[in-house]
Amino acid sequence: MNEIFLLKLGEIVLKGANRKQFENRLKANVARRMHPFGDFKVSILQSTVYVEPQNDQCDVDGAWEACHTIFGVVSLCRCRPCEKDLDAIYAAILAYLGDDLAAASSFKVESKRSDKRFPLNSIQISQHIGGMLAEAFPHVAVDVHNPEYTVYVEVRDFAAYVHGPAEPGAGGLPTGVGGRAAVLLSGGIDSPVAGYMIAKRGVELECIHFFSYPYTSELAKDKVLELARRMTRYCGRMSVNVVGFTEIQEAIRDHCPEEYFTIIMRRFMMRISERIARDHGCGCLVTGENLGQVASQTMQAMAVTHAVVHLPVFHPLIGMDKEEIVTIARKIDTLETSILPYEDCCTVFTPKHPKTKPKLAAVETVESRLDVEGLIERALQNTEIVKVRYHG
Ligand code: ATP
Ligand code: MG
């Protein structure tokens, strides 16, 4: 084939003894992600993943776009492979990059030679090819300091590759090298972003959603499933555990003072989530909490909320401003679903004056009016697991 992708690895290059495991995982992830786009050969060599379409039926543009959402890839380029020979390299540049080069006002050539048997070093390659191109494109000035366009030549083990500027990859670590996390997914803007940020560190996700039918509608549930579906673009396949939460919310409403509704509800969410997390081999819980955003997200309220679980609770958005969160939501394409106007169980029975500085002992006293264990057991039995497949 006359075009291939080179995906450059980021931090995983640094990981010493784990490197092989990381590379194998990344290779498997790339192969799985390429599958819907046709027959691609995926191999890994010298900290670079090679993705080669095997026939003309491959959807090369679709595959290229998907490569931008694979964690563990720091940058990527579409290249033309050619023989390791100056004339062949020159011809490949003319055919593959000629139009881009002709449209630029200035250019330079940057070369890399990982095959040390190649007779010229990288500076010599750049000089040679640069000279040939300067003659072919007399109107495009050579500017080695601040060129508008850079032609890249890489002389590697099996071939040479020419390409234009690389594009940024998704960064992070390959999905699966960092274990599993259970994300509490509401229908809001924050929690999908929190899930994405943890997934970026190489973590597979299991989602948990608390659903209070009929106070929250089927449409609200569909919205959360759609959010999860959108997250798969970066985070990979996952399941959403939809927990029936109505009985718990009604019990809290019927037996607890109003100002404690939210905090006690959140303690139930944490307890149930911890049990689901353990059942699915997850090592932590993740929420979209953000300091000071609402009454339940003060330090004191979070301390009381998290006091009921032993697993670590991560909240990657804790110190971010809303605008920063929205920027990521837009980038990962969850924003437009998040802002659909369906209610969340958090907005059912919302107290007018929630306690912003709840005391643990007082909350525990109020909570002791409830059959906590029984409520949790029944909610767990009333949990539906929905598998969410990747969608482009
Ligand atoms: P989000 O935008 O993610 O809904 P938020 O700012 O609205 O967050 P809260 O509603 O207080 O904040 O919820 C804080 C966190 O608790 C959420 O980010 C999410 O992790 C979790 N959460 C809230 N409601 C639910 C729910 N119905 N199901 C699962 N998790 C939830
Ligand atoms: Mg919310």
Q: DSSP characters for 304-349?
A: HHHTT--S-EE-TTTT--HHHHHHHHHHTT-HHHHTS----GGGTT
Listed in sequence order, the DSSP H helices in 119-175 are 122-136
Q: How far is the CA of 292 from the centre of ligand 1 (A)?
A: 14
**Ligand lying nearest the CA atom of residue 210:** 1
pLDDT of residue 392: 52
Ligand 1 close to Cβ of residue 196 (< 6 A): no
Q: Can you give the pLDDT of all 392 residues of the chain as single tens digits?
A: 689 999 998 766 566 777 888 899 999 999 999 999 999 999 998 889 999 999 999 999 999 999 999 999 999 999 999 999 999 999 999 999 999 999 999 999 999 998 889 999 999 999 999 999 999 999 999 999 999 999 999 999 889 999 999 999 999 999 999 999 999 999 999 999 999 999 999 999 999 999 999 888 889 999 999 999 999 999 998 999 999 999 999 999 999 999 999 999 999 999 999 999 999 999 999 999 999 877 778 899 999 999 999 999 999 999 999 999 999 999 999 999 999 887 776 666 777 788 888 899 999 999 999 999 999 999 999 999 999 987 65
Separation between Cα atoms, residue 185 and residue 327, nearest integer Å: 19
pLDDT of residue 1: 63
What atom of ligand 1 comes closest to residue 183's alpha carbon? 20
Ligand 1 close to Cβ of residue 227 (< 6 A): no
**Ligand lying nearest the CA atom of residue 294:** 1
| Predicted TM-score of the model (pTM) | 0.92
Burial class (CB in 10 A: 0-12, 13-18, 19+), 80: buried
pLDDT of residue 370: 96
Under a CB-based contact definition with an 8 Å cutoff, are residues 176 and 29 in contact?
A: yes
Ligand 1 close to Cβ of residue 210 (< 6 A): yes
pLDDT of residue 46: 80
Nearest to 200 by CA among 339, 10, 64: 10
Q: How far is the CA of 210 from the centre of ligand 1 (A)?
A: 9
Q: How far is the CA of 187 from the centre of ligand 2 (A)?
A: 6
The encoded tokens of residue 379 equal 């909610």
Ligand 1 close to Cβ of residue 189 (< 6 A): yes
Separation between Cα atoms, residue 214 and residue 227, nearest integer Å: 21
Contacts (Cβ under 8 Å, ≥6 apart) of 133: 90, 93, 101, 107, 109, 140, 151
pLDDT of residue 346: 64
**Burial state string for 48-59 with b = 16 or more CB within 10 A and e = fewer than 16:** bbbbbbeeeebe
pLDDT of residue 357: 86
Residues with CB under 5 A from ligand 2 (ion): 186, 188, 344, 346
Ligand 1 close to Cβ of residue 347 (< 6 A): no
Separation between Cα atoms, residue 276 and residue 382, nearest integer Å: 12
The amino acid at residue 171 is: G
pLDDT of residue 353: 80
Helix (H) or strand (E) holding 73: strand 73-82
pLDDT of residue 54: 96
pLDDT of residue 349: 74
Ligand 1 close to Cβ of residue 293 (< 6 A): yes
Nearest CA to ligand 1 atom 2: 188
